[in-house]
Amino acid sequence: MTAPLLEVKDLVVEYPGKGFRAEPFRALKGVSLDILPGETVGLVGESGSGKTTLGRAALGLAPVTGGTITYDGRDISHLSRRQRRSLTSEIQVVFQDPYSSLNPSMTIEEILTEPLTAAGVARNTARTRVRDLLDQVGLPTDARSRLPREFSGGQRQRVAIARALALEPRLIVCDEPVSALDLSTQARVLDLFIEIQERTGVAYLFVTHDLAVVRHVSHRVAVMYRGEIVEYGDGDRVTSEPEHPYTQRLFMAAPVPDPDKQEERRAARKAFLASEAGSSVAGAA
């Protein structure tokens, strides 16, 4: 049996409460999941569900109050900044906003060379690697001399993906990486993620609120609600036959492009909510 690349077990993340003597806010309440090498685990939920906090905890950007995060058999729950730097080549991130995640005053070559030179790669070797990275994400070689403002949102996100790939990581945390893009650009960027995974074997923790996105890219799906995972399993099963009532409501609320199917979805949602209300009344009686 393949050992997990990343394993999260009983993870608790708390933040200080606001105000004098306020109770701490518990963002994650004993969350457990794992990611296998070369696998995509989609993490889906509404805003405030804790999905971004889980991604940040995996990156060492959120405080671990309880539980463990293990990477390739090593406990990384409480690493210092210096210790965390040793994982830079192993774990990378692609952020949500391609407009703010790239330094506007740096050329694309400088942006892509920066992590390479920081890792001790010779400058000439780094330049060669930049050309290869641009080719991998479908951008022309002459893009390296241009500034981020000269590119569209989709092209900027391709640059961000290239930067994440620079050190050949084994895991990339993707934090809402296509939510700022239009639908046609989203589809192309998602296909790029899949193509890169098939070619390199990289694993993804794919954080999103978009059910169509999670259905498109994920091998397994974890559904988060109020700091807990309420459903976790095979991506096709969770997205087509959800078992937990919250997951069912989440998928029924998602829009579909076909007007007739959207009307069917609305009717099914009303019937589901009515049956839930009836069950609640019967239970109260």
Cβ atoms of 90 and 71 closer than 8 Å: yes
Residue 211: per-residue pLDDT: 87
pLDDT at position 284? 46
Nearest to 114 by CA among 141, 97, 92: 92
Residue 197, pLDDT score? 97
Residues 4-32, buried b or exposed e (16+ Cβ, 10 A)?
A: bbbbbeebbbbeeeeeeeeeeebbbbebe
> Which amino acid does the sequence have at 244?
H
Name all contacts of 246-255 with Cβ < 8 Å and 24+ positions apart: 247/223, 248/272, 249/273, 250/44, 250/45, 250/46, 250/211, 250/223, 251/211, 254/211, 254/212
Q: Are 251 and 211 in contact (CB under 8 A)?
A: yes
- pLDDT score recorded for residue 285: 44
Confidence at residue 282, expressed as pLDDT on a 0 to 100 scale: 47
**Residue 262, pLDDT score:** 47
Which contiguous run of DSSP H or E holds residue 85?
Answer: helix 81-85
In the numeric block, the tokens 């708390």 are attached to 14
Tens digit of each residue's pLDDT, the chain (285 residues): 789 999 999 999 999 988 777 889 999 999 999 999 999 999 999 999 999 999 999 999 999 999 999 999 999 999 998 899 889 999 999 998 888 889 999 999 999 999 999 999 999 999 999 999 999 999 999 999 999 999 999 999 999 999 999 999 999 999 999 988 888 889 999 999 999 999 999 999 999 998 889 999 999 999 999 999 999 999 999 999 999 999 998 888 765 555 555 455 455 555 545 555 455 434 544
pTM for this prediction: 0.87
Question: Strand, coil or helix: what is 116?
Answer: helix
Give the chain's radius of gyration (CA, Å): 21
CB atoms within 10 A of CB 104: 9
pLDDT tens, position by position, 13-38: 999 988 777 889 999 999 999 999 99
Nearest CA to 40 among 164, 182, 181, 196? 196
Quote the pLDDT of residue 257.
52
Question: Could you give phi then psi for residue 140, rounded to 5 degrees?
Answer: -70, 155
| Listed residue (161, 110, 154) closest to 133, CA to CA | 161
> What values do phi and psi take at 226, rounded to 5?
50, 50
